[in-house]
C-alpha cells in the first residue's frame, strides 16, 4: 500500500504540473468562433451568461476573503443575476476592491487561463477551475446556485478525469475564449442599462458612492480590463 501511494503521488503531481502538447491551430480558432457564437446571440447568451455570473460573484467572494472581510454567502439567480454578501467595514480599500472585483473577474480569469494554456498546462487549468468551483460551492446559499455550480464543476471534473488530451484541449480553449469574450459583454450591458434607467445599485454605482469618483470612471475601468484581457489573452492563445 505504501509503495502504491509512493508511486501514485508523483504520477498525480506530474500529471497536474506537466505540460500537454499545444492543439492544432484550427482548434484554437474554432473554439474562439464557437465562443463568439455563444456570446453574441441574445438567446444563447441568456443561458451562457450563468457561467459569467459564477465568475463575477466568485470574484467578489474571493477578493472579500483576501482583504479580510467575512464572506457570509453567495446567491445565483435564474435571471443570471447574483449577490455576494460579506461582513466588514462598509467603506475602505477592502470594500472598494471587493466591489470592483465582479466585472473584472471573468476577463482576468480568462487572461490567467490563457497564460496557462500558452505554456501547455491544460490539466492544471482544468483542475484549478474545478477546485475554485468546489470552494465556491460551500458558500452558495440558494438551490439554483448550488445546481448551477454543481453542474459546472461536475463538467470540469468529468472532462479532466475521463476525456482524452484532444477533448481536454478543445474544452479548455473553449472555456478560456468564453471567459475572455463573455467578460466583455456585461460592461456594455451595464452601460446601456445605466443610459436607459440612470444610476442604481450596480457595482459601478456602489463604487461611485464608496470613492466619490463618477460611476462612468468605474465603468471605463471595467471596459479597459475586459478589452485588454481579451487582446492579451487572445494573443497568447493564438501564439502571436
Q: 4 in a domain, yes or no?
A: no
* Tens digit of each residue's pLDDT (9 = 90 or more) over 134-192: 999 999 999 999 999 999 999 999 998 888 889 999 999 999 999 999 999 999 999 99
Q: Is residue 9 part of a domain?
A: no
Domain assignment present for residue 98? The answer is: yes
Residue 181 makes CB contacts below 8 A (sequence gap 6+) with: 32, 35, 36, 39, 230
Structural domain contains residue 51: yes
Q: How many domains does the chain have?
A: 1
On whether residue 153 sits in a domain, the answer given is yes
- pLDDT tens, 27-55? 999 999 999 999 999 999 999 999 999 99
Domain of residue 157 covers: 25-238
Domain-embedded: residue 1: no
Could you tell me if residue 16 is inside a domain?
no
Mean pLDDT of 87-114: 96
Q: Is residue 225 pLDDT above 90, yes or no?
A: yes
Q: Which residues contact 180 (CB under 8 A, 6 or more apart)?
A: 35, 107, 110, 111, 114, 229, 230, 233, 234
Domain presence at residue 95: yes
Amino acid at each position: 500500500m505504501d509503495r502504491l501511494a509512493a508511486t501514485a503521488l508523483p504520477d498525480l503531481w506530474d500529471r497536474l504540473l506537466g505540460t500537454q502538447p499545444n492543439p492544432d491551430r484550427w482548434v484554437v480558432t474554432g473554439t474562439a468562433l464557437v465562443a463568439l457564437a455563444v456570446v453574441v446571440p441574445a438567446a444563447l447568451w441568456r443561458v451562457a451568461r450563468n457561467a459569467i455570473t459564477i465568475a463575477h460573484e466568485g470574484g467578489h467572494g474571493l477578493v472579500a476573503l483576501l482583504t479580510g472581510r467575512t464572506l457570509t454567502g453567495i446567491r445565483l439567480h435564474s435571471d443570471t443575476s447574483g449577490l455576494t454578501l460579506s461582513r466588514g467595514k462598509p467603506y475602505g480599500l477592502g470594500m472598494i476592491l471587493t466591489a470592483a472585483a465582479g466585472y473584472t473577474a471573468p476577463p482576468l480569469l480568462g487572461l490567467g487561463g490563457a497564460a496557462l494554456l500558452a505554456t501547455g498546462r491544460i490539466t492544471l487549468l482544468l483542475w484549478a477551475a474545478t477546485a475554485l468551483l468546489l470552494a465556491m460551492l460551500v458558500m452558495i446559499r440558494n438551490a439554483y446556485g448550488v445546481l448551477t455550480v454543481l453542474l459546472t464543476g461536475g463538467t470540469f471534473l468529468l472532462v479532466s478525469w475521463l476525456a482524452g488530451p484532444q477533448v481536454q484541449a478543445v474544452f479548455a480553449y473553449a472555456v478560456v475564449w468564453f471567459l475572455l469574450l463573455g467578460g466583455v459583454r456585461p460592461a456594455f450591458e451595464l452601460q446601456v442599462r445605466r443610459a436607459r434607467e440612470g444610476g442604481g445599485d450596480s457595482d459601478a454605482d456602489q463604487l461611485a458612492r464608496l470613492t466619490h469618483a463618477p460611476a462612468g470612471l468605474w465603468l471605463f475601468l471595467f471596459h479597459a480590463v475586459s478589452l485588454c484581457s481579451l487582446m492579451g489573452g487572445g494573443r497568447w492563445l493564438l501564439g502571436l
